[in-house]
Structure 1
Amino acid sequence: MPEAPVPATAETLPADQRAASPRRVALVLLLGLLALLGAGALRVSSRLGAQEELRQVAAAVAVPSVRVIHPRAVEPRPLLLPGRLQAWAEAPVYARTNGFVARRLADIGDRVTAGQILAEIDTPDLDQQLAAAEAAFATARAQRDLSARTAQRWNELSARQVVSQQATDERRGDLAARTAQLSQAEAEVNRLRALTGFKQVIAPFDGTVTSRAIDVGGLIVSGSTSSPPLFTVTDMRRLRLYVRVPQAYTGAMRDGLKATFSVPEYADRSFTAELTRTAGAVDAQSGSMLVQFTTDNASGALKPGGYAQVRLELPPEPTDTQQLRIPASALIFRASGTSVAVVDGDGRVAVKPVRIARDLGAELDIASGLEPTDRVIDSPSDAIRSGDEVRPTQNARS
């Protein structure tokens, strides 16, 4: 049976192998030590990098980021507003006497002239009242004449001392009363005669009949403005165009300002009007001022009461320098006045006072204090001061 192999030992190894074993151990230990040192150095380097990154982030946070915009030049731009057309003159025609419509001589759309008869009213009650008043007037005149002759006789008798002075004074008083009664009767006759003149309904001026509320045989009751007028006569040769202008634009409303407008029924046509009057006050509820334009309507194309879309070309406010427009959010309010913050090329802030030419709500027109090349900070902090360092970013609105 073969013998088992003997395990190798230091004594059994050859001499060259016994010398190499300590060197291998030392090499392994050296490699391990180097690995530990490398891992430690890597760890220290990573920590130093994190600290440097943290320092850079802290430095970036210390310099605030701001949005900047560039002011825009103010150019004339149209202002579109709704308007309402009204006739130059419009008169509702009511009856001044009771009766029935005997004749109707005009209808809607008819062109009429001043004094033209529009309708005739039959007034049987008024005719009877006038006849009775004329009879009463005749009676009062006869009584006055009799009283005058009687008073004259008593004056002659009193002069010869045939009758008493008291009796004479009574006759004189009766004459004065009869004279007053005659005047009253005459006034009543004149009143009724004036009412008979309203049997004819006439046009107050040249124009067009735009409404009619009567027909032949209809009952007419005078003195009531709650009922519709018999006719409405409108002068539409010229029209008034009323527009409510927001308060921000009232400063540009001056006599002679031209406007163009369109109406729905003529979408492809444009009409012109000229500013003639302004209310001179802002309505507290709407925050706007009523202005009146005048337009010629000789062709009759425009209709009173219609809606119009008005276009106003408003020039900038006259100033020595060019006006610039910025958002209202860029404005800074301080005790020293209104100002804005601008950023130079080095990222330093300069707070500049400005003068506002026009407040448009979301935007402002600046009359002075800004240059077209300035970079204005949008929505600046209340604590911002001149000399502060900032990091500007471009605003999409600039």
Structure 2
Amino acid sequence: MPEAPVPDPHQLAAEMRPASPRRVGLILLFGLVVLAGAGAVTWNSRLAAQKDLHEVAVAAAVPSVRLIRPRPVEPRPLLLPGRLQAWAEASVYARTNGFVARRLADIGDRVRTGQTLAVIDTPDLDQQLAAAEAALATARAQRDLSARTAQRWNELNERKVVSQQATDERRGDLAARTAQFTQAEAEVNRLRALTGFAQVSAPFDGVVTTRAIDVGGLIVSGSTSSPPLFTITDMSRLRLYVRVPQAYTGSVTPGVKAQFSVPEYPDRTFTAELTRTAGAVDPQSGSMLVQFTAENSAGALKPGGYAQVRMELPSQTGKAQLRVPASALIFRANGTSIAVMDSDGKVTVKPVSIARDLGADLDIATGLEPGDRVIDSPSDAIRSGDTVRPARG
């Protein structure tokens, strides 16, 4: 085994000597510096913790809210069914009895005002007219004779040859004969007027859409239970009737144009202009009847047909509507409102009017501006002037 080293006596003596005062002071000074640094670190940490705690308390006192921007609503076309009707339509009936002698028009024919459609043979009426004219001639002769007789009796009465009673009787007879003549004359005029109805004429320019007679057919006047002889339709212009829901009636004003299509021309679009409105909402359907006018000089559109109408209705306020989630709405006793936050974090509760309820979203007509920052799902206790802060994330 190797031998252990022998310690140096001089080294042992140096290690056993006491440290000098200067060295001890340096050691104490270093310890104080270390303790002061540790204390400063501890104090700063405590101050930072208190500051963070204060900020958390302040932040907890100001509620955080989620902000949304209202979206402008693009004008959406209103699609509604419509019904086309002729500008004018007349059912032509007979005004006299007889048989159809000639038929001069058929369905699809274009006719002019006053054009003869059919001629009716009226033998009975002709005989009645002849008898009435003979009765008129008799009444005229009797009136003339009574007039001459009354004149003579007036002259005799002036000379006191005949009595006043006899003269008055002659005057009364003249008045009666004159009335009989007037009655006979009126009967002749009536029958002559009926004779004029033997020619069935078109009341206006149009197209024959129905015909219920043919040559030799019996005509009985004064009966509306039987079908009309002809139906004349003016289809140079058409009326387009549409029922507009009440929510859109405020935007329906004269001059609004509509585009519509019909099943027979699926690839074509026609234009109509609003000309009249009923001015009242039907309580059963909740809609208002409006009338558009469509030009149809080419005759492509058919009266009585169905149409799909597309209307671009302007905003009632003249401004674009804004869309927000339904969760942003506040229901108060004074109406519906929405809370917005300004740049300083202050709340303003604005009353709004709803243009359309889409379920999850609402279209706001008035009360909001495009740059407003809307508070989503606001507290029921929120009021104007409250301070809030935007939620992070």
TM-score, with length taken from structure 1: 0.74
Q: CA deviation at 1:291?
A: 1.3
Q: How does 1:1-398 map to 2 (within 5 A)?
A: 71-319=70-318, 322-326=320-324, 331-341=329-339, 352-356=349-353, 358-359=355-356, 363-369=362-368, 371=370, 374-375=373-374, 377=376, 383-386=380-383
Change (3 A) 1:371 1:113: closer
Please give the root-mean-square deviation of Cα atoms over the aligned residues, in Å. 3.2
Q: In structure 1, how many angstroms separate the alpha carbons of the residues matched to 2:325 and 2:188? A: 76
On the 8 A contact 1:349/1:385 being kept in 2, the answer is no
On the 8 A contact 2:210/2:231 being kept in 1, the answer is yes
Instruction: Give the AA of the match of 1:233.
Output: I
Q: CA deviation at 1:151?
A: 0.7
Change (3 A) 1:234 1:335: same
Instruction: Give the AA of the match of 1:107.
Output: D
Q: CA deviation at 1:318?
A: 3.8
Q: CA deviation at 1:295?
A: 1.4
Q: What does the per-residue CA deviation read over 1:61-93, in whole Å, with 9 as the maximum and x for residues that have no partner?
A: xxxxx9997633122111101111111111111
Query: Unpaired runs of 5+ in structure 1?
Result: 1-65
DSSP-derived class of the 2:151 partner? helix
Name the counterpart of 1:36. Answer: none
Q: In structure 1, how many angstroms separate the alpha carbons of the residues matched to 2:325 and 2:191? A: 72
Q: What does the per-residue CA deviation read over 1:93-137, in whole Å, with 9 as the maximum and x for residues that have no partner?
A: 111111111111111001111111101111122112111111111
Q: CA deviation at 1:298?
A: 1.3
Q: What does the per-residue CA deviation read over 1:342-392, in whole Å, with 9 as the maximum and x for residues that have no partner?
A: 6899xx9957232326346754433223555644546x88x5544699999
Instruction: Give the AA of the match of 1:293.
Output: F
On the 8 A contact 1:282/1:289 being kept in 2, the answer is yes
Change (3 A) 1:300 1:327: farther
Q: In structure 1, how many angstroms separate the alpha carbons of the residues matched to 2:328 and 2:198? A: 72
On the 8 A contact 1:262/1:270 being kept in 2, the answer is yes
Query: Unpaired runs of 5+ in structure 2?
Result: 1-64
Q: Percent identity?
A: 73
Bigger mean CA deviation after superposition, 236-245 or 170-179: 236-245
Q: In structure 1, how many angstroms separate the alpha carbons of the residues matched to 2:367 and 2:111? A: 59
Q: In structure 2, how many angstroms separate the alpha carbons of the residues matched to 1:106 and 1:170? A: 59
Instruction: Give the AA of the match of 1:279.
Output: A
Change (3 A) 1:248 1:120: same
Instruction: Give the AA of the match of 1:156.
Output: E
Instruction: Give the AA of the match of 1:177.
Output: A
Q: CA deviation at 1:204?
A: 0.9
Change (3 A) 1:281 1:68: farther
Q: What does the per-residue CA deviation read over 1:138-172, in whole Å, with 9 as the maximum and x for residues that have no partner?
A: 11111111111111111111111111100100100
DSSP-derived class of the 2:235 partner? strand
DSSP-derived class of the 2:197 partner? helix
Q: What does the per-residue CA deviation read over 1:330-351, in whole Å, with 9 as the maximum and x for residues that have no partner?
A: 5444332321356899xx9957
Q: What does the per-residue CA deviation read over 1:159-200, in whole Å, with 9 as the maximum and x for residues that have no partner?
A: 111111001001001100110110011001000100000001
Instruction: Give the AA of the match of 1:356.
Output: S
Q: CA deviation at 1:327?
A: 5.9
Q: CA deviation at 1:292?
A: 1.3
Instruction: Give the AA of the match of 1:355.
Output: V
Instruction: Give the AA of the match of 1:239.
Output: L
Q: In structure 2, how many angstroms separate the alpha carbons of the residues matched to 1:302 and 1:254? A: 25
Instruction: Give the AA of the match of 2:350.
Output: P
TM-score, with length taken from structure 2: 0.74
On the 8 A contact 2:71/2:370 being kept in 1, the answer is no
DSSP-derived class of the 1:82 partner? strand
